[in-house]
Amino acid sequence: MDNVTATSTGALAGINTNWGGGARFTRITVLDDPDRETRICVKYRGVPKGDEPVEIGAGAGGVSCIYSPSDITWR
């Protein structure tokens, strides 16, 4: 995602790391979130169709969720 403004959201992206999913974030602005509760990238362990994926983490790291603090502006 590049040059995105987000408001009233729990997460910007959710990816299945075990299936090779990934996301890159640059120039992201998050509005009206003084406690910084919005999660930029949530990581899941993907499961077969019909089952619910299991959340395994959130935030930047590895080859799955690529961004640095300077890529995110909180307003």
Q: What is the pTM of this model?
A: 0.88
> Per-residue pLDDT for 23 more than 90?
yes
Taking the C-alpha atoms of residue 25 and residue 48, their distance in angstroms, rounded to an integer, is 27
3-state DSSP assignment of residue 8: coil
* Percent of the chain topping pLDDT 90: 81
- Cα 35 to chain centroid distance, Å, stands at 17
Domain of residue 15 covers 2-74
- The arithmetic mean of pLDDT across residues 30-59, rounded, is 93
> Per-residue pLDDT for 50 more than 90?
no
At residue 62, the pLDDT reads 78
Cα→Cα distances 47→5, 18, 44, 56, Å:
30, 9, 9, 13
Count of CA atoms in the C-beta half-sphere (13 A) of 12: 29
- The arithmetic mean of pLDDT across residues 42-62, rounded, is 91
At residue 73, the pLDDT reads 97
Residue 34: which residues within 8 A CB-CB, separation 6 or more? none
> Per-residue pLDDT for 13 more than 90?
yes
